[in-house]
């Protein structure tokens, strides 16, 4: 088969349709790097009419020179905010992982990495269907900054 032209095919459609899902899929394949993150940022702001505010942890990719240069080139269309170092209590992701660990993973015997992965993904898919539960993670007093 002929190689696909850039910007065509399933991966491009996924990226335009849902940049977060596309980014997570690529990250899952151990390809989380500056190029992947820049691709995500570009898709995230592609159709944005207003500035996009993104809160990030301090992963080295988030602070890469190319990322900083790209964000600066957008002249305020994308603003990155970084959580303080060593502050998991300020990251809502940690509430999600804590919930899954306490209520689901920690109560099962897990025999291998694939089984762990299956349980975690199943619970993440389940959480997608429970918006009230997801919203409750943001009501924690340490996360009030998000809602203000």
Whole-model pTM: value is 0.64
Query: What is the structure's pLDDT at 30?
Result: 59
State the angle between helix axes of 34-45 and 65-73 in degrees (0 to 180), rounded to the nearest 10: 20
Neighbours of 108 (CB within 10 A): 10
- Residues 11, 16, 18, 19, CA torsion sign: positive
Residue 57 phi, psi (nearest 5): -85, -170
User: Mapping DSSP to helix (H, G, I), strand (E, B) and coil, where does residue 56 land?
Assistant: strand
In tens, the pLDDT along 95-116 reads 888 899 998 888 888 899 899 8
Query: What is the structure's pLDDT at 62?
Result: 95
In which residue ranges of the chain is pLDDT below 70? 1-31, 148
Residue pair 119/104 in contact by the 8 Å Cβ criterion: yes
């Amino acid at each position: 088969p002929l190689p696909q032209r850039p910007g065509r095919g399933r991966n491009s459609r996924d990226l335009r349709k849902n940049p977060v899902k596309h980014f997570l899929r690529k990250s899952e394949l151990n390809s989380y790097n500056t190029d992947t993150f820049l691709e995500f940022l570009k898709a995230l702001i592609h159709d944005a009419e207003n500035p996009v505010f993104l809160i990030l942890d301090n992963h080295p990719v988030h602070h890469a020179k190319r990322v900083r240069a790209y964000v600066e080139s957008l002249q305020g269309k994308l603003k990155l905010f970084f959580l303080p170092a060593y502050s998991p209590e300020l990251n809502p992701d940690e509430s999600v992982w804590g919930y899954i660990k306490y209520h689901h993973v920690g109560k099962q015997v897990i025999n291998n990495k694939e089984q762990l992965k299956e349980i975690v993904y199943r619970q993440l898919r389940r959480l997608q269907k429970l918006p009230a539960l997801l919203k409750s993670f943001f009501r924690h007093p340490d996360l009030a900054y998000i809602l203000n």
